[in-house]
Structure formats: structure tokens, C-alpha cells
């Protein structure tokens, strides 16, 4: 079931990547047409529970205050959800996490009592890559007030941080991700002090990563997803994800992800019309002539972690 939850979150993220480009600034090649079952995850703009993303015709992502206001309205109506602050950023913004469980658990002890596996997912560690935020809001809504995916909570708990780099998120501009297909405006790659949160897992210099590390230690998730968006990659996969292999921190974790998780997640994504693929980087960081692969240095925590990308 945790694989199904992962697949739906990524599929919704791919829907959230179908942003239109403003006509006056089209600089990318024509987008390839795509049709798939996950398009049905989006609500009509006029629906009571449409997110700001859906209300905009799949073109815009909401600002921090708009996101938190919509989330508070959802949590107020959904007993399965609890809103928890992980701490504050340098500019004083709350870093919010939603706890989703069948019983409406409000703390780690209550969550552990149900004995179900827990998935932690956060969006916006690079806040210009924000599709995961809108996808996660859609998923939380579908599992609760819309009663579409409530069965997911029968076997899984979800911890969801919609915006990790909350200050970077508010450095809003049309020009921060010019080689990415939307949204029309988005946040910046670094935080208030121009520090890259995705390079701070070891030194824990930033308020945001200190809050995240404390949350991981306190809530003890079984699987951890870091949601990104590709930036200029050109391949036919529309969803990619990756993790360190058996050479890294835990061969047993990598083996489980290889043998159990990936086949189930890929099968679900393919049934929804997607082409999932491996997260790949050029070994020489420039082109694929020298080969490709994925390996992360010690910036990443030692637990099952997936870095997930939707193609824009």
C-alpha cells in the first residue's frame, strides 16, 4: 500500500507539471502530447475542493499564505488530518507538516500505535520545483473529504511537508526556472541566506534542515520521499526516481527498493499511462558521453530515501 501511495503522489505530481507557458516567453521545444489516467485526478476549477493549481487551469501554484489557508480549511474538515509545525524559518515562517492517518493521530506515539508503515514526503526543498506541493494537496483531499482514496489510510500513514524551503518559496518570480515548463511563477532554489537545503543534510546549518532532521528522528518514518522537478532534462520518461544503490549506506534497504518497491511502483505508474524511469545524472555533470548514474554523497540521511522527479 505504501507503493500505491507513492505512485499516486508521483502521478498527481505529473498532472501538476502540465503547466502552460506564457505565449510571450516560449523558449522550449514543443511539448509532446500526453494522455493518461492520472489526468482524472484533477478537479474542475469550480469544484469546492479544487486547489489553487486546479482553479488556475493547471498554470499557477499558490503563494505560502494561500497554501496554508487552503490546508487549514482542509484539516478543519478532515478528522484524519493533523497540522503540525516543525519549526520556523529564518524569516519566521512556520514549516508545516500534515499528519494523515485513519485515526487522526496527532503525535508520534499515537501514530506508532496503529502499527502501519509511515511515508514521509516533502516538497519544495528547491521551491522552484514545486509540483509536489500541489500534488500532495490533491492527494490529501482525495484521501479525506472527497472519499476517493480513503482506503490508502487503512494500511499506510502519510507525513507530508508541502513546502520545506518556505522563505525560498516566497522569492516568487516568472524567471527563476526559465528552462522548466511552469508554473508561471515559482520560488527560488535557495533559502533566505542563499543556502541550498539539499546540500545541508550533513552540516545542518539551516533552520529548515534542522527542523526536518528533528522530525525524522521524532516521527521515525519507514520511507522518505524528496520531491523535485527536472530542470532541462530531455528524455522520454515523464516520472523518474532514484536512490543510492547497494554500494551505499545500506545494501539491505537498496535491495528491498530494487526487488519489492520499484516493480510495484512502476506497475502502478504504467497502468496510469506514465513512463517511469531511473533518476540519471551525467557522470561528468555535463553530458551523457561519459556515462550516467546516480550516487549521492553524505548530504543524505541514512534511511530509505527516494528522490522523485516529474518532468516539466
- The CATH number of whichever domain residue 217 belongs to comes to 3.40.630.10
Asked if 78 and 144 count as a contact pair (C-beta separation under 8 A), the reply is yes
In a domain, 210, yes or no: yes
Would residue 171 count as lying in a domain?
Answer: yes
pLDDT at 307: 62
**Length of the chain in terms of residues written:** 312
Residue-number span of the structural domain to which 220 is assigned:
2-22+32-234
pLDDT tens for residues 150-207? 999 999 999 999 999 999 999 999 988 887 888 999 999 999 899 999 999 989 999 9
Contacting residues for 217 by C-beta, under 8 A, at least 6 apart: none
* 54 occurs within a structural domain: yes
Beta-strand pair 281-282/157-161: unpaired
Q: pLDDT class for 303, splitting at 50, 70, 90?
A: very low
Burial 243-270 (b: 16+ CB within 10 A, else e): bbeeebbeeebbeebeeebbeebbebbe
- pTM metric for this prediction: 0.90
- The domain tally of the chain equals 1
Q: Is residue 283 part of a domain?
A: no
Q: What is the pLDDT of residue 10?
A: 67
Q: How far is CA 90 from the centre of its chain?
A: 22
Q: Mean pLDDT for the chain?
A: 87
Q: Is residue 305 part of a domain?
A: no
Amino acid at each position: 500500500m505504501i507503493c500505491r501511495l507513492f505512485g499516486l503522489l508521483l502521478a498527481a505530481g505529473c498532472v501538476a507539471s502540465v503547466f502552460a507557458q506564457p505565449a510571450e516567453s516560449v523558449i522550449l521545444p514543443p511539448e509532446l502530447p500526453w494522455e493518461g489516467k492520472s489526468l482524472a485526478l484533477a478537479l474542475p476549477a469550480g469544484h469546492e475542493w479544487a486547489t489553487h493549481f486546479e482553479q488556475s487551469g493547471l498554470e499557477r501554484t499558490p503563494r505560502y499564505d494561500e497554501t496554508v489557508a487552503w490546508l487549514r480549511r482542509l484539516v478543519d474538515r478532515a478528522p484524519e488530518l493533523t497540522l503540525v509545525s516543525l519549526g520556523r524559518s529564518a524569516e519566521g515562517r512556520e514549516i508545516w507538516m500534515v499528519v494523515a492517518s485513519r485515526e487522526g493521530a496527532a503525535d508520534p506515539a499515537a501514530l506508532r500505535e496503529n502499527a502501519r508503515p509511515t511515508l514521509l514526503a516533502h516538497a519544495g526543498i528547491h521551491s522552484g520545483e514545486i509540483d509536489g506541493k500541489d500534488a500532495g494537496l490533491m492527494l490529501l483531499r482525495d484521501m479525506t473529504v472527497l472519499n476517493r482514496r480513503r482506503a490508502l489510510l487503512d494500511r499506510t500513514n502519510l507525513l507530508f511537508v508541502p513546502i520545506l524551503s518556505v522563505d525560498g518559496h516566497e522569492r516568487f518570480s516568472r524567471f527563476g526556472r526559465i528552462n522548466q515548463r511552469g508554473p508561471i511563477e515559482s520560488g527560488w532554489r535557495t533559502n533566505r541566506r542563499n543556502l541550498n537545503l539539499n546540500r545541508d543534510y550533513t552540516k545542518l546549518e539551516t533552520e529548515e534542515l534542522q527542523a526536518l532532521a528533528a522530525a525524522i528522528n521524532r516521527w521515525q518514518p519507514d520511507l522518505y520521499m524528496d520531491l523535485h522537478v527536472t530542470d532541462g532534462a530531455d528524455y522520454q520518461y515523464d516520472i523518474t526516481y532514484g536512490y543510492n544503490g547497494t554500494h551505499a549506506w545500506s545494501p539491505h534497504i537498496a535491495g528491498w527498493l530494487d526487488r519489492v518497491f520499484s516493480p510495484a511502483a512502476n506497475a502502478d505508474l504504467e497502468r496510469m499511462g506514465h513512463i517511469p524511469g531511473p533518476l540519471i545524472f551525467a557522470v561528468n555533470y555535463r553530458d551523457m558521453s561519459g556515462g550516467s548514474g546516480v550516487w549521492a554523497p553524505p548530504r543524505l540521511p541514512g534511511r530509505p530515501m527516494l528522490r522523485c522527479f516529474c518532468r516539466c
